[in-house]
Structure 1
Amino acid sequence: MKRLLLLTALCCGQATSAGLIDPEDGMLDMSHNLEDKPYGFLPIPVVITEPAIGYGGGLFGLFLHGKGTQANGRFIPPAMTAFGGGGTENGTWFVGGGHRRTWQEDHIRYLIAGGYADINLDIYSGDVAGFSRNKAINTETQGYGGMHKLLFRVGDSPVFLGASQSWSKADIAAKNNPVIDRVWQRVLGDDSTSSSLGVVAEYDTTDNFFWPGQGVSLSGEYQFYGHFLGGDYRYDLLTLDGKVFLPLNPTWTLSLAGNYQMLSQQDQHLPPMARPYIKLRGISSYRYQGDDVSTVQAQLGWQVTPRWIVQGFVGAGSAEDSASDLYTSAEVAWGTGFRYLIAREYGLHTGVDVAFSDHEQAVYFNVGSGL
């Protein structure tokens, strides 16, 4: 505790000298550092407690190239770049980055990202020998890849249409299980390449990219994975995603989110990480996979002060082999967290969530709402 207090005092002193105190309320704020300094960035600590890969950490930097603008009641963020890396106790490590920018007052949106990862991960389901819902196969995946997405606004409407493309190359092995590893090598080969081309449609009326206070965000993407694109596997993936932000009063906001993924037209055998999985705070990544996966979430935020927000959330997910079986059983996760308005000029919030599910718990450092 003494070290923490000393560090806090030291950081406050350094923040004052560096101009990181907002003169309006005397609170820590990085707007000036992000706006006016060519190399100013928001450091984002990555404290990993993801049950699937263990404890670890890392650091990412978020660079905002400009101040952003206001148009028709919404904040248009400036171009932004993020990059960094991290690792965990089980030997997992990763590096990566991305860039997002818009043109013509948010009529054109572009996103590009890429990275390299060495991931040691327990996977519980698949179509190659060795899987069951209650027994994990410890896998090691080494690979690199990237994606990009280009969207065009339809007139002055909130509708966007565009395309996406992704590519990755990975070497997958079953650690500590030579029998299953030999089966995988025979069926999947020494390494695998996945390549996709997608069509995208989005509807966006949210008022702020970093922290929506109201509005609706809907997106649909259909990705074609195939040999004609340079990949080793043939399958299609449909992803539908929706978020609604409802201000109940000046201090309370209700956020609702839903996601659905469907795998179809697939080859007989696919790499283990190709299948959709339940993605919720408090549940291990790739713990529950299926051809059809759905999640629903609700989050309630309380604006305690102009800078601080406390929130609680609950979510449920289901992973099955067909859509008709969804939610015949479900996995539930819940938790609480807080956000701090770290850059008032951008509406940029950062904070921590603590999440729980049956037999698991995890801590997440998030920029944004976490949905």
Structure 2
Amino acid sequence: MGSMKILKSGMFSTIQDLGRFGHQAKGISVSGAMDQLSLRLANILVGNDEKAPCLEMTVKGDKIEFQKDAVIAITGCDMGFTVNGRPVWIDRTLFVNKGDVLDSGFCRYGKLSYLAVRGGLDIPKVLGSSSTFLRASIGGHKGRKLMAGDVLDFPDLESSMSRAVQVTREIKDLLFHPRKVRFVYGNEKDRFTEKGVGTFLNSQYTIQNDSDRMGYRMKGDVVEHVTNGDIISGGINFGSIQIPGNGQPIVMMADRQTTGGYTKIGQVIQSDLPYLSQKKPQDIVEFQSVTVDEAIELWRELNMKIRAWKESLDYGYYRVNELRRFTLSFNNKTYNVKAVEV
């Protein structure tokens, strides 16, 4: 079994997969990755199942020592990652050796980065998922955010890759290319005046500092209700756009509650949730309505692009039978060399 040790914790890092489904009727949140696209891409880069648990890092990443050789990938936003002090690229396969130290600074754009390890992190499942749900202290590593001294296990590297693969610019643009956040109207649209709907479509909203994995609170022009913002509690989805009595939108995120009693003007479409998730406090958001058919087509197109890219990858797999290490000196410089029998 391999492992990696957190030498210094980042601002807010947790273990996440694609979520804990089938338990909302019991009041248990789905949780899971905020930016599910980046988590999927990180796992694809190292040859994992797309649903495998990853490290989700927020704003600033962790300092990590690898205690065994590993194949890793980092996706999402660039936090200035280095290995042993040398800059490394994100969105591509990385090969690290026993004793290597991964470090980072603050995000250069966006907010979230995802670290995948070939073979997947060895994290026990709770109710079918390894995702951390902090409010219930379940899942992930001890039900909490990661701290200095934590050790995360992963399987020994029985097979590796002879080639580094990378995410295409076309797919990367799906995540970060500037645009309005698209949504479909919900059944409660008639709870808002025509003026209120127009205000929502034509205004800019600022994500507030008290936003978190549960919801993004926004501030901007007031969205007018017909009467008020209260309804009988109903189900809440990832991306539900609630507008309470004060007329200020709240977009529900990965750790949302299961029900809510505020009017919902609509639902952020699935293909734009990763884009919205990468927004941080004080970023500006604008909304654009689309039809249900358009939302479905956009989701289909996104997944077709990912599938086509995934099928084009050539990892050059080989089985690791024997590993030997050498120290070589050349021109007064010392090099650590790893020889693998394949």
Q: After TM superposition, is the score higher than 0.5? A: no
Relative contact order higher in (CA < 8 Å, ≥ 6 apart):
2
Report the structure, 1 or 2, having the larger helix content: 2
Q: What TM-score do you get using the length of structure 2 for normalisation?
A: 0.22
